[in-house]
Amino acid sequence: MSETTATLYEQLGGEAAVNAAVDIFYRKVLSDHRINRFFDNTDMDKQAAKQKSFLTMAFGGPNNYSGADMRQAHAHLVKKLGLDDTHFDAVVENLAATLQELNVPQNLINQVAAIAESTRNDVLDR
């Protein structure tokens, strides 16, 4: 009988780790002049809650995400504000910096980055 492999969600530290990461991540994003304008009219408490649910699901934890898919959720930002690859890269950079700040091992950061990268075309509506 083989042992079951822990999900990325479990390896990262579960709910407490995802919650801490999202809070730090948005602090970084909102202070990043390259991308903070995309959140000017956003209820950040709601946004953080949606992001926590999405990342929990994406990392293999309980699926309680009920928000829009990535294409729908970001289409207005692409059309109205010009969301593009440079902005996506800035988000991924802030996510990696957040995980580094939380002392997450590089191999797990790489897995998170790969999951983020897998959403690029949907987020950028192409």
Amino acid at 59: F
Write the pLDDT tens digit of every residue in 90-115: 999 999 999 999 999 999 999 999 99
Within-domain flag for 4: no
Write the pLDDT tens digit of every residue in 31-73: 999 999 999 999 999 999 999 999 999 999 998 888 778 899 9
Within-domain flag for 103: yes
Burial of 102 (0-12, 13-18, 19+ CB in 10 A): middle
Separation of alpha carbons 48 and 44, rounded Å: 6
Within-domain flag for 5: no
Find where tokens 């990268």 sit.
117
Whole-structure pTM over 0.85, yes or no? yes
Within-domain flag for 1: no
Separation of alpha carbons 6 and 20, rounded Å: 20
Total domains, the chain: 1
Domain that holds residue 34: 14-123
Query: What CATH code is carried by the domain that includes residue 62?
Result: 1.10.490.10
Within-domain flag for 101: yes
Q: What is the mean pLDDT of the chain?
A: 93
Within-domain flag for 100: yes
Amino acid at 62: P
